[in-house]
Amino acid sequence: MYGIGIVKGLLVTLKNARRKPFTTQYPEERLEQSPRFRGQEFVWFVDRCTGCASCAKFCPLGIIKIVTDPNGGNGQDGGSYRVDTFDIDQGRCMYCGLCVEACPYDALHMGTNFEASQTSRLDLVITKEDLNAREKHPSTWFRPQLSKQGFDPFGEESKDWHGAGREPVDWHPKRPEMLPDEGDTRSTSDGEYK
Amino acid sequence: MGAPEWLAYFFGAMAVIMTVVNGFLLIGTIFTWMERRVLGRFQSRVGPNRVGPFGILQAIADAVKLLFKEDIVPRRADRLLFNAAPIVILAPSLMALAVVPFGAGSYVADLNIGVLYVVAMGGIASLAVLMAGYASDNKLALFGAMRAVAMLLSYEIPLVMSLLGITVLAGSMSLVDIVGAQDIPFLLVSPLGALIFLIAMSAELNRSPFDVTEAESELVAGYITEYSGMKFGIFYLAEFSNVVLAGALFAILFLDGWNGYFLPSHLWFLVKVFGFLLVASWVRATLPRMRIDQILALAWKYLFPLSMVNLLLLTVETLTWPEPSTLELWMMTGINWVAAFAAIPLLAMVGLRAPGRSRRAFSPEVH
């Protein structure tokens, strides 16, 4: 009979009306974020960076600008370049994470923030100074060693550059400054914790 | 002293007009917020809830936003018609208020052709729609306007026929007398009439499932495509206040107007109007949009015969019982409900399945 379908439809919407709304009232309420969130505000450890510019090469959008200076470091002998400029234009970033995957020394990590809106596109460019000044709360995306260490990106702890790598800290014998302090817990090459 | 007598009438009239029109527009504004909230709940979300308590000031925020927007007139638009269309669409719905009784004894004028007057004012809307569509110099707007006018004209006939049934039943065209004649609410006495009124009214109001005139998926926004800023706002205000007006009419014609228990009459009237608005939002949340040919088929092949049957029934009954007592009204009610349950499927079988052409007017093969 005609009209039955309309009544059925009305009952369906009525049933939905009696359900609790599933809206999350964003500024007051937040959804739980994954620790592997690929967010804004990259985490960069200047002490781990050798200035190899892999991140800039692998960026599909070409938004990482890195200027290095061999001055001071001995490149032939395994030393690092001095990084003069390290700009990331977050306004054009698509957060694919290829730069993080490309980093051979685990110096660059994804961030977990997503609230970096600005009123000008220029303000979206983050510089070396910004990155250095920031608290280090790296996402554990593509950094399994962080989740293995039980690191919580949303916690209070600001990550120290010593423990951020996947290799043991003494991976490069020619950089004695990278050796850990006594009693530092860190991963070893066979994946065990000391 | 010295001031002429007409001045007193003038200011008195102005005061009444200001009260009625602004009160009506205020309810229309509240309805914009209410509908968004109600639709939100029907879709398991919250709806606007940030401006003021429960978001009730959302309409004010929207109005401020619209006022600050740039007022764009297309270069090749017919400026006069373009600018006049929002006024022409809003003014009749305000003018129709003159005969609407809001409570016991509170109405601006008790016109003895009240129903006719309301219908006439409603008819002007199609002119405004055509003006807007034509003046915009935009094919989408023109298409929207043509669809709207085809639909408005088609649905005016069943609408008027159902109103005619009420007029016959009450023996008067005055809205005040019609309320007075309802010993039993006419919703019960004339269920067919109420159904036709609801369907035809939602077409007249361009509401779902008849909102083809502003089918976003096909026509951008129909005849309001080229409007921006407050002119756009006025179109929307007119649309929403027309729904409130339809609610008032439904309350008067079918729900015994302002009469009720315990509460003051104005409050009862508001309760009935908002009941109608809730149902309107509910239907809007439920029904998907129909195609324009389906809409016209429904009007001409189904609602038109149905309204004829309704009018015939009521006329015969009124001729049988010229001054119906309450008992006789109950007898009419019984007959009309039986007739409604018989006529609705019967006429659907006859009307909506056109022989020769296609099995069903609603079948997907028909394009």
pLDDT confidence tier of residue A58, bands split at 50, 70 and 90: very high
Mean pLDDT of all residues belonging to chain B: 83
pLDDT tops 70 at residue A176: no
Supply the pLDDT for residue B215.
Answer: 66
How close does chain B come to A5, measured CA to CA in Å? 10
Looking up tokens 């306007």 gives: B145
Task: Kindly state the average pLDDT of the residues B63-91.
Answer: 87
Q: Is the peptide bond before A168 cis (omega within 30 degrees of 0)?
A: no
Q: Please classify residue B271 by burial: count the beta carbons closer than 10 Å to its beta carbon, then call 0-12 exposed, 13-18 middle and 19+ buried.
A: middle
| Dihedral sign from CA coordinates of A34, A38, A42, A45 | positive
**B41 interface with A at CB cutoff 8 Å:** yes
Supply the pLDDT for residue B318.
Answer: 85
Record: contact A2-B344, CB cut-off 8 A: yes
Q: pLDDT per residue over B253-287, tens digit each? A: 888 878 777 878 788 888 888 999 998 889 888 88
pLDDT confidence tier of residue B216, bands split at 50, 70 and 90: low
Supply the pLDDT for residue A16.
Answer: 85
Select the residue of A2, A13, A19 nearest B285 (Cβ to Cβ).
Answer: A13
Q: At what angle do helices B5-42 and A4-17 cross, to 10 degrees?
A: 90
pLDDT confidence tier of residue A78, bands split at 50, 70 and 90: low
Q: A98: how many CB neighbours lie within 10 A of its CB?
A: 17
Q: Which residues of B touch A20 (CB under 8 A)?
A: 44
Supply the pLDDT for residue B301.
Answer: 84
pLDDT confidence tier of residue A74, bands split at 50, 70 and 90: low
What fold characterizes domain A34-169?
Answer: Alpha-Beta Plaits (3.30.70)
pLDDT confidence tier of residue B6, bands split at 50, 70 and 90: confident
Nearest Cα to Cα of residue B196 among B253, B240, B145: B253
Task: Kindly state the average pLDDT of the residues A94-102.
Answer: 91
**B283 interface with A at CB cutoff 8 Å:** yes
Is 0.90 exceeded by the ipTM? no
Supply the pLDDT for residue A185.
Answer: 47
* Beta pairing partners, A109: A43
pLDDT tops 80 at residue A188: no
In order, the DSSP letters of A44-73 are: E-TTT-----HHHHH-TT--EEEEEE-SSS
Supply the pLDDT for residue B232.
Answer: 87
Select the residue of B46, B282, B352 nearest A21 (Cβ to Cβ).
Answer: B46
Select the residue of A2, A21, A23 nearest B345 (Cβ to Cβ).
Answer: A2
Question: Rg of chain A's alpha carbons, rounded to an integer?
Answer: 23
Q: pLDDT per residue over B178-203, tens digit each? A: 888 887 888 888 888 888 998 888 88
Q: Please classify residue A175 by burial: count the beta carbons closer than 10 Å to its beta carbon, then call 0-12 exposed, 13-18 middle and 19+ buried.
A: middle
Supply the pLDDT for residue A77.
Answer: 61
Supply the pLDDT for residue A60.
Answer: 93
- Taking 3-state DSSP, the helix, strand and coil percentages for chain B, each rounded to the nearest 5, stand at 70, 0, 30
Cβ–Cβ < 8 Å for B134, B199 = no
How close does chain B come to A12, measured CA to CA in Å? 8
- Phi first, then psi: give them for residue A67, nearest 5 degrees: -120, 125
pLDDT confidence tier of residue A102, bands split at 50, 70 and 90: very high
Q: pLDDT per residue over A108-125, tens digit each? A: 999 888 888 889 988 889
Which of helix, strand or coil describes residue A166?
coil
Which of helix, strand or coil describes residue A77?
helix
pLDDT tops 50 at residue B367: no
Q: From residue A119, how far is each of A123, B57, B240 by CA, in Å? A: 7, 27, 36
In order, the DSSP letters of B58-93 are: HHHHHHHHHHTS-----TTS-HHHHHHHHHHHHHHH
Supply the pLDDT for residue A191.
Answer: 43
Q: For A190-194, B35-39, B131-135, B291-295, which range has the lowest pLDDT when averaged over its residues?
A: A190-194
Task: Kindly state the average pLDDT of the residues B32-41.
Answer: 88
Q: Which residues of A touch B (CB under 8 A)?
A: 1-3, 6, 9-10, 12-14, 16-17, 19-23, 25
Residues 253-282, chain B, touching A (beta carbon < 8 A)? 282
* Beta pairing partners, A111: A39
Supply the pLDDT for residue A76.
Answer: 61
Supply the pLDDT for residue A184.
Answer: 47
Question: What is the spatial distance between Cα B134 and Cα B115, in angstroms, rounded to a whole number?
Answer: 30
Q: Please classify residue B142 by burial: count the beta carbons closer than 10 Å to its beta carbon, then call 0-12 exposed, 13-18 middle and 19+ buried.
A: buried
Supply the pLDDT for residue B241.
Answer: 86
Supply the pLDDT for residue B346.
Answer: 79
Cβ–Cβ < 8 Å for B310, B167 = no
**B43 interface with A at CB cutoff 8 Å:** yes
